[in-house]
Structure 1
């Protein structure tokens, strides 16, 4: 089984409070990769950075005092180009989703019980390479050490181009395959 994880393609990261030109530039590639994944029969999961109204009093809010992805706001929503495909996004209050890791591990175990190969490949795309993409990729690597973990660099953007490149290099060192670098 192959899975495509679309990380935090939300308005606040593309054009809102924490948007960057680089994030806007990857949108067509991300949309294209989602369509490609659907055509290939990949299971596609979306994550959604989710904060509450008390964000500024949280540890993250104290270190990054920019309210973003507050539940129920327009900035929290998945971008229009992907919203229809993201019917049931996985809300995550932190950089990585323990729920996502447990979900994929359970799916892998269920497939093995059925005599099937299990989760063989997990590909990550989305935002931000240097925070949530790397956090989730490493988390899934820990949950599924024998699955190939892939990051499609053309479908990711970091807080800065330099931090994007640094994150890709760090992931390579952790045996994560980086494509289209």
Structure 2
């Protein structure tokens, strides 16, 4: 099975203490496992896509404008990957199997070429990580399901600012989207 690791919105604005729309400690706590996953995939020469929210200052036409404070604004440090992942990405961004992808909606598929990128590479299994479990990870998983991808979510690599929403989304992934949700004591290893 050809697979891809998708790192969704793991940026300063969504994770750092002073982030514009931060999930704070829950997001910060997944950094070691998330970095470990990214490093293993990069070293194993498997595709890693960083799907990163992109907004423009004072864009009153974007639907999130009325829902959330400005976040992940183009050209700001808020769009940089959180913690050690930014440096790791910079060190490996020239590799063919490491990709940065801007997105402007919750789902990494909405208005992007992600589906085309995956299909060109024969990828049929997506490992979703990042934040927020019950918003961007969830909407990406729903689109992946509708497009026929197998989905894997590791609890150690997703987080949200809403614990109830986080838990609900984990159940929804497994019970409604047929995703494999690996628990904290399991490892999502290569089959």
Give the TM bin, normalised by the shorter chain.
Answer: 0.7 to 0.9
Contact 1:9 1:79 in 2 (8 A): yes
SS in 1 for 2:145: helix
1:137 aligned onto 2:137:
no
Q: Which has the higher helix share?
A: 1
1:72 aligned onto 2:83:
no
**Structure 2, gaps ≥5 residues long:** 94-98, 185-191
Name the counterpart of 2:188.
none
Aligned CA distance change for structure 1 residues 179 and 101 (closer, same or farther; 3 Å): farther
1:2 aligned onto 2:3:
yes
* Displacement of 1:105: 4.3
Contact 2:155 2:183 in 1 (8 A): yes
Match of 1:119 among 113, 123, 128: 123
Aligned CA distance change for structure 1 residues 93 and 155 (closer, same or farther; 3 Å): same
Aligned-partner Cα distance in 2 for 1:44–1:106: 11
* Displacement of 1:103: 3.3
Query: What TM-score do you get using the length of structure 1 for normalisation?
Result: 0.84
Give structure 1 regions of 4+ aligned residues with deviation exceeding 4 angstroms.
99-102
Aligned-partner Cα distance in 2 for 1:92–1:3: 17
Name the counterpart of 1:114.
none
* Displacement of 1:39: 3.1
* Displacement of 1:102: 4.4
Aligned-partner Cα distance in 1 for 2:31–2:107: 21
SS in 2 for 1:126: strand
Contact 1:104 1:119 in 2 (8 A): no
Name the counterpart of 2:182.
179
Number of matched residues?
171
SS in 2 for 1:85: helix
Query: What TM-score do you get using the length of structure 2 for normalisation?
Result: 0.80
* Displacement of 1:100: 7.9
Contact 1:130 1:159 in 2 (8 A): no
Tell me how large the CA RMSD over aligned residues is.
Answer: 2.1
Aligned-partner Cα distance in 1 for 2:128–2:31: 14
* Displacement of 1:59: 2.2
Name the counterpart of 1:115.
none
